[in-house]
């Protein structure tokens, strides 16, 4: 008090103007505060959680910015092992004797600004009781789905296996009434074989003989009805858009349709991807449950070196790549075998901008992990440098997914 008196006595008219200004500022600030409290109330956000959120939230940590650290003390496998029945044979690197299979999970991702803890399956089951979680996408989303299943199955054995709403496979953890399901779809949109008809048409007159008809505005049946069922959804698409062995640009091109009619002039796959994403995202936004949480996962990198999968390419590394090796393999400028990784992401980010989807960015952290694919242990004629060994990298994707989920849940 004395100090303040002292101050005010010394003050000139100049400083009384200053204090009036200060008062005005305080008023404005308190009005702002009231508004923000009101807004928090309106979204039923518990006030007590707010300050804690700032500490724990993902908003101030860039999970993608970090490095892989080798921890030889990890007793591996830490989470589940090769006995998890859901692991597809080609991904079960321990069972098939891949030389570094045990080492794969000794690498831990360390973001520079925070930690990414291994998610706790029991806490997850408890926190997400009565919840349905759908993975919608290609086999790489299945890889992530299986990793989540194996983690949960280890701590909760009462499981009902079934196929909810078009799913390829699904499991309900009965004690917690938590369901996870995988909906297989390569392009998100519906597609099928197309052949020229004798009666002719626009495409025939342009010289098209056969290919794949992709209905850009029609979701594939495997997931079209699933949106009213799931509370949390994780989408992906990408690998099939740069797959000339299936969608040969000459022998079996993708032919895009909209509103049941061919898009004329015909568009290449990368433009088609934009069109499909636009339609599919808007379909999801319209059909999804009111409080659903939406994720879109970014592209999973492949690590073919010395050629593509059908040209004898391989991935025989036993350690993650160094940052400069990552750039050499994946930079768009060097246009290497696996260049589609970052190209796909460009399309995804463009389509997702301003959408309610949360981007699950797994690309950069995965680019390092040339060591974590089944490689020759995949049991195919060619090396598998696309899918991931389980247990393995997609467990870390789930750590990231669940860290984001917890941050969202905590905020609400």
Ligand X SMILES: *[C@@H]1O[C@H](CO)[C@@H](O)[C@H](O)[C@H]1NC(C)=O
Q: Nearest approach, Cβ of 230 to ligand X (angstroms)?
A: 9
Q: How far is the CB of 164 from ligand X (least distance, A)?
A: 10
In the complex, the smallest distance separating the C-beta of residue 364 from ligand X, rounded to whole angstroms, is 5
Closer CB to ligand X, 80 or 401, in the complex: 401
- Helix (H) or strand (E) holding 254, with range, is strand 254-258
In the complex with ligand X, the residue whose CB is nearer, 93 or 315, is 315
Q: Which is nearer to ligand X, 92 or 314 (CB)?
A: 314
Rounded to 10 deg, the angle between the 13-42 and 47-56 helix axes is 100
Provide the minimum distance between the beta carbon of 55 and ligand X in the complex, in angstroms, as a whole number.
Answer: 19
CA atoms within a 13 Å half-sphere pointing along the CA-CB vector of 296: 25
Least spacing, CB of residue 376 vs ligand X, in Å: 24
Nearest of 307, 311, 325, 312 to residue 371 by alpha carbon: 325
User: Of 135, 282, 265, which Cα lies nearest the Cα of 216?
Assistant: 282
Cβ density class 304-329: b for 16+ within 10 Å, e for less? bbeeebeeebbbbbeebbeeeebeeb
- Which C-beta is closer to ligand X: that of 131 or that of 186? 131
| Minimum CB distance to ligand X smaller for 132 or for 298 | 132
- Smallest gap from residue 182 Cβ to ligand X (A): 17
Closer residue to ligand X, CB minimum distance, 210 or 327: 327
Smallest CA-to-CA distance from 274 within 214, 206, 231, 184 is with: 214
Q: Where are the beta strands (DSSP E) in 18-140?
A: 66-70, 107-111, 132-137
Closer of 132 and 375 to ligand X (Cβ): 132
Q: Any bridge partners for residue 135, and if so which? A: 182, 234
The answer to whether 347 touches 353, Cβ cutoff 8 Å, is no
Q: Min. distance of Cβ 156 from ligand X in angstroms?
A: 15
Closest approach of ligand X to the CB of residue 241, in Å: 15
DSSP assignment of 133-193 equals: EEEEESHHHHHHHHHHHHHHHTT---EEEE-GGG-SEEEEETTTTEEEEEEE-SSSEEEEE
Tokens 């850009």 locate to 216
What does the alpha-carbon distance between residue 406 and residue 394 come to, in Å, rounded to a whole number? 18
Which one, 5 or 333, has the nearer CB to ligand X?
333
Contact residues: ligand X, CB under 6 A: 62, 64-65, 130-132, 177, 335, 364
**Peptide linkage before 77 cis (omega within 30 of 0):** yes
Contact assessment for residue 297 and residue 144, using Cβ atoms and an 8 Å cutoff = yes
Nearer Cβ to ligand X (64/355): 64
Kindly provide the residue ranges of all beta strands, DSSP E only, lying in 25-157, ordered along the sequence.
Answer: 66-70, 107-111, 132-137
Sheet holding 210-219, edge to edge: 189-195, 210-219, 254-258, 261-262
Please, what is the minimum distance in Å from the beta carbon of residue 272 to ligand X? 18
Residue 210 CB neighbour total at 10 angstroms = 12
């Amino acid at each position: 008090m004395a100090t303040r008196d002292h101050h005010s006595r010394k003050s000139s008219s100049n400083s009384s103007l200053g204090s009036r200004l200060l008062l005005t500022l305080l008023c404005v600030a308190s009005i702002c505060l009231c508004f923000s409290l009101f807004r928090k109330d309106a979204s039923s956000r518990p006030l007590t959680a707010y300050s804690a959120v700032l500490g724990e939230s993902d908003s101030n940590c860039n999970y993608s910015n970090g490095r892989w650290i080798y921890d030889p003390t990890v007793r591996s496998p830490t989470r589940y092992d090769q006995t998890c029945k859901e692991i597809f044979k080609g991904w079960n690197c321990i069972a098939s004797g891949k030389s570094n299979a045990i080492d794969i999970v000794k690498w831990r991702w360390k973001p520079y600004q925070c930690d990414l803890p291994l998610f706790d399956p029991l806490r997850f089951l408890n926190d997400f009781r009565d919840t349905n979680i759908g993975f919608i996408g290609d086999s790489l989303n299945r890889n992530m789905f299986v990793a989540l299943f194996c983690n949960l199955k280890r701590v909760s054995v009462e499981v009902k296996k079934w196929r909810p709403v078009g799913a390829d496979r699904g499991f309900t953890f009965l004690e917690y009434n938590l369901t996870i399901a995988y909906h297989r779809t390569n392009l998100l949109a519906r597609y099928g074989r197309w052949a020229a008809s004798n009666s002719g048409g626009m495409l025939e007159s342009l010289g098209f003989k056969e290919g794949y008809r992709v209905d850009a505005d029609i979701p594939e049946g495997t997931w079209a009805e699933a949106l009213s069922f799931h509370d949390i959804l994780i989408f992906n698409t990408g690998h099939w858009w740069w797959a000339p062995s299936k969608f040969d640009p000459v022998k079996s091109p993708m032919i895009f349709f909209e509103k049941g009619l061919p898009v004329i002039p015909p568009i290449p796959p990368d433009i088609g991807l934009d069109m499909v994403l636009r339609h599919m995202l808007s379909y999801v936004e319209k059909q999804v449950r009111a409080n659903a949480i939406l994720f879109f996962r970014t592209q999973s990198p492949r690590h073919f070196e010395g050629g593509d999968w059908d040209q004898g390419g391989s991935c025989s590394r036993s350690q993650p790549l160094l940052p400069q090796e990552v750039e050499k393999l994946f930079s768009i400028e060097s246009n290497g075998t696996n260049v589609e990784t970052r190209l796909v992401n460009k399309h995804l980010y463009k389509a997702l901008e301003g959408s309610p989807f949360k981007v699950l960015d797994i690309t950069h952290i995965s680019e390092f992990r040339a060591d974590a694919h089944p490689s020759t242990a995949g049991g195919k004629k060619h090396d598998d440098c696309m899918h991931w060994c389980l247990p393995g990298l997609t467990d870390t994707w789930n750590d990231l997914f669940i860290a984001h989920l917890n941050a969202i849940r905590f905020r609400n």
